Amino acid sequence: MQTLGYERMGEELAKMGVSGIEATIRKGGHIEPREAAQKVPGMVADLAKNGQKALIAACNVGATGKEEMEFLKVLKAHGISRYRMDYFRYNLKKDLLPQRKDFTLRLRDIAAMNKALGMQAIYQIHAGAKYAGSLAWDAAMMFEGIDPDDAAIAFDLRHIRSGSGLSFETTVALLKKHLGSIYVKDARWTGPRANQLKNVPLDTGMVDRKTFDSVVKGQKAMPLSLHMEWGKASIYPKKDVMEAVANFARDVRTLKSWL
């Protein structure tokens, strides 16, 4: 729904009975990182007109430094204390274990920065060969010993369910203590050999209530970020954006029935 302005977006979200958004404050997002100081205050104010908040900021922070700290201070100053950080990516032509160790060190630095700023990074587990964390074991090793209040895992139901297959329960047990958010979306295997992944409406593929409950059980309150990726476009043009709104509303109703 990125082509909707924040006030108009807030109107539609309020009708759905949700609490807010995961704001894309990143390259190609609703707000470019370099414009955060100028535009984040207006975003927060426009969302608040309909009782909505920016509960998570999806951004490009993947290291520590002056630029990253100044960016996070802008978020913090306007009530956004949780951000989805950038991914760590493997070079598959090189030994993976030394890379995983390097990611762990970088993550500890990011956690230390967050502790000083009063922020929390969440790392979305994303399916795919190049993404660190996609095997779950490497994610658990990266986050071992890190306070979840400083840096935690965003448990993506679609990505982890498709990536772990019959080992999904093992993955849940492995990552549960590191969670800071749960990302909700669905997909199914399709095609002549059932080896192609297709995004589908929530509760029509591999992500059902049992899957959701297995992750939520025993967890403290944390944001649920609903991603609708089964529509016609990743970002709907303004003339068609109400179709995206209807799709979101459909998945929100399903998710609410699970709570």
Residue percentage of the chain with pLDDT more than 90:
99
Residue 144 has a pLDDT of 97
SS3 for 120-178 is EEEEECCCCCCECCCCCHHHHHHHCCCCCCCEEEEEEHHHHHHHHHHHHHHHHHHHHHH
Q: Is residue 248 part of a domain?
A: yes
Count of beta carbons in the 10 Å neighbourhood of residue 21: 22
Token pair 């074991």 in the structure block, residue: 137
Q: Is residue 1 part of a domain?
A: no
Give the tens place of pLDDT for each residue, 120-159. Answer: 999 999 999 999 999 999 999 999 999 999 999 999 999 9
pLDDT band at 254 (very low <50, low <70, confident <90, very high): very high
Please tell me the total count of domains within the chain. 1
- 87: tokens are 């991914």
Residue 113 has a pLDDT of 98
The CATH number linked to 254 is 3.20.20.150
Q: Is residue 174 part of a domain?
A: yes
Calculate the alpha carbon distances from 173 to 123, 133, 156 in Å: 17, 15, 14
Using DSSP's 3-state secondary structure scheme, residue 83 falls into strand
Residue percentage of the chain with pLDDT more than 70:
100
Q: Which domain holds residue 105?
A: 6-258
Mean pLDDT of 18-30: 95
Mean pLDDT, the chain, integer: 97
Residue 246 has a pLDDT of 97
Handedness of CA 234, 73, 87, 94 (dihedral sign): positive
pTM, whole model, 2 decimals? Answer: 0.96
Instruction: Yes or no: say if 61 and 110 are a contact pair by the CB < 8 Å rule.
Output: yes
Q: Is residue 147 part of a domain?
A: yes
